[in-house]
Amino acid sequence: MERFLASQDQVKMEKNMAEIEKMLKESGALLEGHFLLSSGRHSSRYFQCAKFLQYPDRAAAGLKPLTDRLRGDLQKGTLAVDAIAGPALGGIIVAYELGRQLGLPAVFTERDESGGMTLRRGFEVWAGENILIAEDVITTAKSSAETARALEALGGRIAALACIVDRRSPGVTVPWRIYSAYTAPAPDWDPADCELCRQGRPLVKPGSRKIF
């Protein structure tokens, strides 16, 4: 019976991922080409989730299966979350929508004048608070790690990481459990080893984050 239920869950998850892939494509959020990622690496695929999130109804529908998984683990006691934090800019709307659906407060971290990630605008974290980090896209999880350090320095505890797209390459790991609406490993290269650069394909930087 447990194996049958696990199989059903897998089928349901694959169906949900197919649906959100369709939403990403229809909104123009899934791009193909030669891109400079915010991590500094190059890739042939880019997820501009802001184009997906600009439609509130689509964002709510696309994130609902992810919220259902989170809620299920919260109810089972295998996950504890008191608040949600999204790194600016990409994680702000994701954190808000997850917080809205789960009935939890949502805050965001942002970069200060030195480029470091910090919690400002009167947001607070109390000692021992369980925080879910929310992202739009995970490639190297650099901004998530920076957000985690900022929150942990204030006494927070990172419960898990949730995202719309998990596009990590094989071997890229994070120390937290990951909940993703869509998993799509995409090739990415160090600029010195980029295949697309060797082919002479023009490089595009569609993101908004300054690379430090």
Q: Are 154 and 105 in contact (CB under 8 A)?
A: no
pLDDT at site 151:
97
pLDDT at site 181:
94
Please report whether residue 172 resides in a domain: yes
pLDDT at site 149:
96
Please report whether residue 112 resides in a domain: yes
* Reported confidence tier of residue 17, pLDDT bands at 50, 70, 90: confident
Cis peptide before 89 (omega within 30 of 0): yes
pLDDT at site 207:
67
> For the segment 73-86, what is each residue's pLDDT rounded down to a tens digit?
999 999 999 999 99
Domain that holds residue 106: 13-28+46-198
In sign, the C-alpha dihedral spanning 152, 154, 159, 163 is: negative
Please report whether residue 205 resides in a domain: no
Please report whether residue 2 resides in a domain: no
Q: Three-state SS across 73-135?
A: HHHHCCCCCCEEEEECCHHHHHHHHHHHHHCCCEEEEEECCCCCEEECCCCCCCCCCEEEEEE
Please report whether residue 204 resides in a domain: no
Inform me whether the pLDDT recorded for 19 exceeds 70. Answer: yes
Biggest alpha carbon–alpha carbon distance for the chain: 56
pLDDT at site 208:
59
Inform me whether the pLDDT recorded for 26 exceeds 60. Answer: yes
Instruction: State the chain's mean pLDDT as an integer.
Output: 90
pLDDT at site 84:
98
Inform me whether the pLDDT recorded for 210 exceeds 80. Answer: no
How many structural domains is the chain composed of? 1
Please report whether residue 54 resides in a domain: yes
pLDDT at site 180:
95
> For the segment 113-149, what is each residue's pLDDT rounded down to a tens digit?
998 999 999 999 999 999 999 999 998 899 999 999 9
Give the list of residues 6+ apart from residue 82 with CB closer than 8 angstroms, or none.
Answer: 104, 105, 129, 130, 131
- Hey, which of 20-34, 93-107, 172-186, 194-208 has the most confident mean pLDDT? 93-107
Q: List the CATH number of the domain containing 163.
A: 3.40.50.2020
What 3-state DSSP class applies to 46? strand
Distance between first and last Cα of the chain: 51
pLDDT at site 80:
98
Cα–Cα distance, 177 to 173 (Å, whole number) = 10
> For the segment 149-164, what is each residue's pLDDT rounded down to a tens digit?
999 999 999 999 999 9
Please report whether residue 207 resides in a domain: no
Cα–Cα distance, 131 to 156 (Å, whole number) = 7
Please report whether residue 33 resides in a domain: no
